[in-house]
Amino acid sequence: MESVETSVKTKDALASRIKKAATQNLGPEDTVLVWPNLVYIELVSMVFSLAILLFLAIVSPAPLEEMASADTTPNPTKAPWYFLGLQELLVFFDPWLAGVVLPSLIIVGLVVIPYIDTSPTGKGTYNFSDRKFAVFSFSFGLALWYLLIVIGVWFRGLDWSWYWPWDNPYLHRSATAVTLVDLEVLLQSALHLPETPLLTMGRYEPTAANLLTWGIFLAYYVVGLTIPFLFLRHFYRRFGFIRYNIMMFLFLSMMGVPLKIFLRLMANIKYILVTPWFKI
Amino acid sequence: MKKTFDLIYGFITQTQLYKSVFRHGYPSTDANRALIMFSNVILHLHPVRIRRGALKIKFTWCLGGLTFFFFILLAVTGVFLMFYYVPDTRRAYQNIKDLGTVIYFGTLFRSLHRWAAHAMVLSVWLHMTRVFMTGSYKPPREFNWVVGVILLVCTLLLSWTGYLLPWDQLALWAVTVGSKMAEASPLLGNAGPFGAEIGMTVENDVAFALLGGTMVGQSTLLRFYVLHCLALPLVATLFMAVHFWRIRKDGFSGPL
Amino acid sequence: MLKPDEKSESPSDVSRRRFFTLLSLGVGWGGLLAAFGGGAVGTLRYMFPTVRYEPPSIFKIGKPEDYGMGVDNRLKKERQIWVVRNEKGIYVMVAICRHLGCTPNWFQDQMRFRCPCHGSIYDVDGNVRGGPAPRTLWRAGISLDPVDGEIVVNFTQRQDPDPKGTPDGLIVDPVSREQPPFFLKV
């Protein structure tokens, strides 16, 4: 049989424990039973989405084209819609870039997000004002991805030419005779650089213009990495050396995609950088 | 009327047969609602109680759960489709046509499968966006995000391997486009940068391993069939198990 | 004036509410069960294909003149039947043992069909003369095509009368079996 003092002590201890739990919102007062609250929400969402899928399945059945034949390629040949973004990139980048390197960078970029953005702000809530850079870069990437898919689905027709939605999809467009130049050719004629190769490394014999394009390509990354370091030092400090470099490399690469598309469309530049083994 | 119903119900629920299957009563009391989370294998994924704020639909939009639901739906409809499909280039197309013409509800099963596939790709993408926007990947949940990205890749691969199976023009050439990109891989592909230097030819590069040959043919169809129906679902199930486990262990990141 | 927690319902309101509650519960759960039931029925129907990738079950086997007296073995491998002719006409027996489904062999010298799996023995009428077979050999539907005079066999139309147990085996009176559509009088 407890004495009065110890029973008061245990009561106080209990009261303080409850108060602590309550401030951490871990107490049972703030929780509800999963059955029926959560389970019913799950059931309704499953039934609702199944109903929508059934409606779609009946109204728009799965298509089946003619049997596969290796000698006729349909025109246009489109990948599934979730890969059309990549297929659209093939217009502006070589296959190894558009099909392998860029998707790998996307996957790697997604994977490292939580190891770069470790600040606890905005955890568990929809927050924009405290996470401006993170939300901006992610949304930019998403928007770019969706835009490429939309173009691939609705704006590309025969021969992968540009077709507005109101254009006749069965009429071939005349092959627009736009001559595309490489950046080094542009620089060579603009700056009157000599055409003789400056170095010889087996198959690779770069001219002055070619080396200049190397410089431009590397400068894009170097300048891009240095500017926030110099002018937004708190931004750099938030991440530390390794995280900052990884993140800025990925960010600059992501920004490079619309930049190159822009250069292609506006200045008819085909390749920024040319070597016998790869062209960017 | 109600009395007889109660009488029958009361009798049935006291039999050994009933009690061996349902070890406690219907979850209409708080005690039974707690017990069922431990006794039911499907429900034991859930905790007994959750914070009131975690119920807000506008927080998660049920996207993760819907993705899992679509996966189950695809597995079930997929099994039924497998009863009539043979991954042989001489028969696959006719099998799909049979599904559309002579099998009762064949079109429905196939269309449901296809729409659920599109829905799953969409919902996994939206789920990833939601998780990012709510910062639910931040420590200590980083690893779960990585598992999620792996699941995203699995979903896309599942969709892509399934695309080939009808063996129509759309299937063949959509996969050819994809495999041509594999051929252009740096180092691993025969047509990519530095590939030829390493000795990659069209007969031993990564595209050859993917296609089971130099072109999209019978080997590719069989390979993609096995990947689509067995290998990738197993891998996805494994990673889903880790994914759900981590969510239970780390708890909802939701509003307090 | 009502207190805040006092309900303003009259008894008729309560029963009206109860009616609508039950109605919507019924419609809701009933609709769900109907949907699941419909889904189950659809799934079940899905499992029965209407087109079979098998040989046809109704086929022609030539003219009656092509077949001599006794048991003819030539269609056993291709069509799983024996064509048997006696003085009265032609009948077709299904070459599937009634025990567990193996294919018996005809022994002309013994005038018996003998099954290699468990030793069932049948005579030329299909009666069981030995072994574990529980019933006699099936006879298939047989008719004559009026246009080209060929014999038409219906493989899945089977004659299977109940046999009588006798000291000689399980016997069905052969004459009783020689009725159309399982016997062709030629």
CA distance A246 to chain B (A): 17
Q: Which residues of C touch B84 (CB under 8 A)?
A: 49
Q: Please provide the distance, in angstroms rounded to a whole number, between the alpha carbons at the two ends of chain B.
A: 47
- Omega within 30 of 0 (cis) for the link into A36: yes
ipTM > 0.90 for the complex: no
CA distance B48 to chain C (A): 25
B256 confidence band (pLDDT: 50, 70, 90): very low
Which of B117, B125, B118 has the alpha carbon at shortest distance from B64?
B125
Of B136, B178, B193, the CB nearest to A79: B178
For B36-65, the pLDDT digits (tens) are 888 888 888 888 888 887 788 888 888 999
Interface test with B, best of A67, A121, A138 (most B CBs within 10 A): A67
Q: List B residues 98-137 in contact with A (Cβ-Cβ < 8 A).
A: 100, 107-108, 110-116, 118-119, 121, 128-129, 132-137
Q: What's the confidence (pLDDT) of residue A22?
A: 47
Q: What's the confidence (pLDDT) of residue B240?
A: 96
Q: What's the confidence (pLDDT) of residue B226?
A: 96
C44 close to B (CB below 8 A): no
For C12-23, the pLDDT digits (tens) are 667 888 999 999
C-alpha A77: how far from chain center: 24
The residue among B93 and A6 whose pLDDT is bigger is: B93
How big is the A-B interface in CB pairs under 8 Å? 232
pTM greater than 0.90 (yes/no): no
* pLDDT score of C84 more than 70: yes
The phi, psi pair for C154, rounded to 5°, reads -110, 100
DSSP category for residue A67: B
User: Which H or E element spans position A256?
Assistant: helix A241-267
Find all residues with CB under 8 Å of C43, minimum gap 6, and list them: B80, B105
Q: What's the confidence (pLDDT) of residue B177?
A: 82
- Laid out side by side, the sheet with C121-122 consists of C105-107, C112-114, C121-122, C128-130, C169-171, C164-166
Determine, for residues B98 and C49 on separate chains, whether the beta-carbon distance falls below 8 Å. yes
CA–CA distance, A166 with A206 (Å, rounded to integer): 47
Q: What's the confidence (pLDDT) of residue C2?
A: 58
Q: What's the confidence (pLDDT) of residue B220?
A: 92
What does each of the 280 residues of chain A score in pLDDT, given as a tens digit?
A: 455 555 556 666 666 666 654 444 445 667 888 888 888 899 999 999 999 999 999 999 999 988 988 888 888 888 888 888 888 998 899 888 888 899 999 999 999 999 998 888 878 788 888 888 889 999 999 999 999 999 999 998 888 888 888 888 888 877 777 788 888 888 888 888 888 888 888 888 888 888 888 899 999 999 999 988 888 888 888 888 899 999 999 999 999 999 999 998 888 888 888 888 888 8
- How do the domains of chain A map onto residue ranges? 81-119+129-267
* pLDDT score of C28 more than 60: yes
Q: Which residues of A touch B173 (CB under 8 A)?
A: 73-74, 77
Of B48, B177, B255, the CB nearest to A34: B48
What is the mean pLDDT of the segment spanning B84-100? Answer: 94
B219 close to A (CB below 8 A): no
Contact B214, B180 (CB under 8 A): no
For B98-127, the pLDDT digits (tens) are 999 999 999 999 999 999 999 999 999 999
What is the mean pLDDT of the segment spanning C35-48? Answer: 91
Three-state secondary structure call for residue C72: strand
Which of A140, A115, A116 has the alpha carbon at shortest distance from A256?
A140
For C150-171, the pLDDT digits (tens) are 999 999 999 999 999 999 899 9
Q: At what angle do helices A34-59 and B30-39 cross, to 10 degrees?
A: 60
Contact C93, C81 (CB under 8 A): yes
Q: What's the confidence (pLDDT) of residue A4?
A: 57
- Chains with 3 or more CB pairs under 8 A to chain A: B
Integer angstrom CA distances of residue A107 from A104, A141, A143, A218, C9: 5, 12, 16, 23, 62
Q: What's the confidence (pLDDT) of residue A35?
A: 84
Mean pLDDT of chain B: 90
| Domains observed in chain B | 1-49 (no CATH), 55-250 (1.20.810.10)
Tokens at A277, concatenated: 């083994």
Contact B76, B61 (CB under 8 A): no
CA–CA distance, A25 with B256 (Å, rounded to integer): 7
